Structure 1
Amino acid sequence: MEFVSHADYNIIFENKEVQGTPVELVEIGYLNAPSGEIIVCDPLVFHDIVPLSRKINPGTYPVKIYVAKTEDAGDRYAVAKLELSNKRAEKWVLALRNDDDVSELKEKGDFFGFPVDAGLGGFMDYNAALQYDKFIEAFVQKNPEGNIYDDFFAAEFKKNSVDQNDPQDYGDWINFQLPDSDLNITMFQSGYGDGVYPAYWGIDKDGQVTSLVIDFLVLLLPDEQ
């Protein structure tokens, strides 16, 4: 059984304004996915490395962020897309992990998502996740009293801030290359912050996967359809 999103994300991808809110595209480079097993998570609250059950063709794929420029809350990352082809999706199917029990989805609009507790979402390949786990372990060994965001990642995010001279502009994304590796992790702001967010596979008219999107529940909410 397929669990389909309430939203058609093409509305966000193909328009510069959605529901009266301007939308801006930010391209943050490519994700190297040699295993074809993808993990969506908060990369700073990294409790497990369970990939999504559907595999993609190994390769390198662009990551695009669609930013809602809201009137009341400023710029908010609405949708993150791992673009697997240039074909248009016809539907958006909930991305599941092997340990998800779909019998728990009782109501229309129910979903399994990933928890965010550090205000970030991200895409990574399973191989990158294994390397990232070692990177974190090495950091903790060298900095037992440290904080990996404050002591390391904050400076990386700052490199991508819009205004380098603004002390309040901390930067909203990074495409982090793991040391001594061709593997990388993309990290980005998560909508309005902490919560639980779903991911969906974009499926084209021929049943082929075109993309993987994270919906940060900023635009096209169910009660606004």
Structure 2
Amino acid sequence: MGLFDKFKKKENTEIDIQKAFEANLKYISNIDVNVNDIKRQFVKSNTRFYLTIGKVSCPTGNIIISDPLAYLPSNKFCPVLNVQIPFGEYPVEVAICRSDIIGIRMCTVKLKIKEAEAVSYSLAKPTNESAAFVAKDGVLSGFPVDAGMISICDEKVAKEYQDFIANWYKDNPNGNHYDDYFDKFFKESDEKYPQFQRQGGDFIEWENPKTKNKLIMVASGFGDGFYQSYWGYDSNNEICELIVPLVNPDLFGL
């Protein structure tokens, strides 16, 4: 796969890890993002890489970004974005970084809606009815993660996922939907792309066995937290992508 496979550990580093982690917490909760910061993540070098991990089925065009393990099964903290995209099936890319400081990390998840390149980003806001949190001055954008994983899916596919999990628990009342079901898919992903994720797997495309609709799951950077998403606009001011920043590799000297 190129330079990324030839990564070598650095002998010395001057990075203050604690400060870098604190800065990354601010980075993932920002209400704006720099287009060049994102563009620099989707390159191929000995510390950065990106690849397509699967597709998302969008039969309604209403997008939900949430924690697929902790919250999506119960439809809790599952904001529906207030912009509808055209119906269809869209590829998802993930920017990845690797270093001797933080290991392999998923940096940014990108739902590619059009081939055009993004020249600007705008905060993706939820519908008033579905917002994860509401403040005195209005709804808050973003979503919480409590199981170290994010997902991007269509509103209809989310309902299908919830039905699947509910039925799975009827057949497995003492089971755990990650340990006893999803874990094997992540391990298969790890076996297929071992150089691009941590042991045990960091990303999957999951296809509902009944409806055949797809969603993706990706490990959320450094784990739990509160994350934002952004619409990417092309030079014609049309939406071309949706991103979820997880880790800023610049903060870790990559």
Residue 44 (structure 2) aligns with: 16
Residue 154 (structure 1) aligns with: 183
Distance 1:96 1:164 in 2: 33
* Number of residue-to-residue matches in the alignment: 210
Listed one character per residue, the Cα deviations across residues 118-170 of structure 1 (whole Å, up to 9, x for unaligned) are 111111111111100101111121222211101101111111114799xx821
Deviation at 1:104, TM superposition (A): 5.8
Distance 1:199 1:164 in 2: 26
Listed one character per residue, the Cα deviations across residues 150-202 of structure 1 (whole Å, up to 9, x for unaligned) are 1101111111114799xx82111111110121211100111011111111000
Deviation at 1:219, TM superposition (A): 3.1
In the alignment, is residue 25 of structure 1 matched against residue 55 of structure 2? Answer: no
Distance 1:202 1:4 in 2: 14
In the alignment, is residue 7 of structure 1 matched against residue 22 of structure 2? Answer: no
- Counterpart AA for 2:158: A
TM-score w.r.t. length of structure 2: 0.75
- Counterpart AA for 2:203: W
Residue 212 (structure 1) aligns with: 242
Listed one character per residue, the Cα deviations across residues 196-219 of structure 1 (whole Å, up to 9, x for unaligned) are 111100011211001000111333
TM-score w.r.t. length of structure 1: 0.84
Asked whether the 8 Å contact 1:37–1:52 carries over to 2, the reply is yes
Deviation at 1:79, TM superposition (A): 0.2
| Greater displacement, 73-82 / 156-165 | 156-165
The DSSP-based 3-state class of the residue aligned with 1:54 is: coil
Listed one character per residue, the Cα deviations across residues 56-87 of structure 1 (whole Å, up to 9, x for unaligned) are 01111111000011331111000000001111
In the alignment, is residue 135 of structure 1 matched against residue 164 of structure 2? Answer: yes
Distance 2:57 2:33 in 1: 30
| Greater displacement, 76-85 / 198-207 | 198-207
Residue 171 (structure 1) aligns with: 201
Residue 121 (structure 1) aligns with: 150
Deviation at 1:7, TM superposition (A): 2.1
Listed one character per residue, the Cα deviations across residues 3-58 of structure 1 (whole Å, up to 9, x for unaligned) are 96232222222x335xxx82111211211111111111111112424411101011
The DSSP-based 3-state class of the residue aligned with 2:118 is: coil
Residue 103 (structure 2) aligns with: 74
- Counterpart AA for 2:235: K
The DSSP-based 3-state class of the residue aligned with 2:206 is: strand
Asked whether the 8 Å contact 1:140–1:146 carries over to 2, the reply is yes
Whose helix fraction is larger, Structure 1's or Structure 2's?
2
Asked whether the 8 Å contact 2:55–2:215 carries over to 1, the reply is no
Q: 67, 71, 83: which one pairs with 1:42?
A: 67
Residue 15 (structure 2) aligns with: none
Distance 1:215 1:95 in 2: 12
Distance 2:112 2:143 in 1: 20
In structure 1, stretches of 5+ residues that fail to align are 106-110
Asked whether the 8 Å contact 1:177–1:185 carries over to 2, the reply is yes
Distance 1:220 1:72 in 2: 13
- Counterpart AA for 1:205: S
Whose strand fraction is larger, Structure 1's or Structure 2's?
1
Asked whether the 8 Å contact 2:64–2:81 carries over to 1, the reply is yes
The DSSP-based 3-state class of the residue aligned with 1:79 is: strand
Distance 2:203 2:44 in 1: 21
Listed one character per residue, the Cα deviations across residues 95-128 of structure 1 (whole Å, up to 9, x for unaligned) are 11112568469xxxxx732111111111111111
Distance 1:143 1:157 in 2: 20
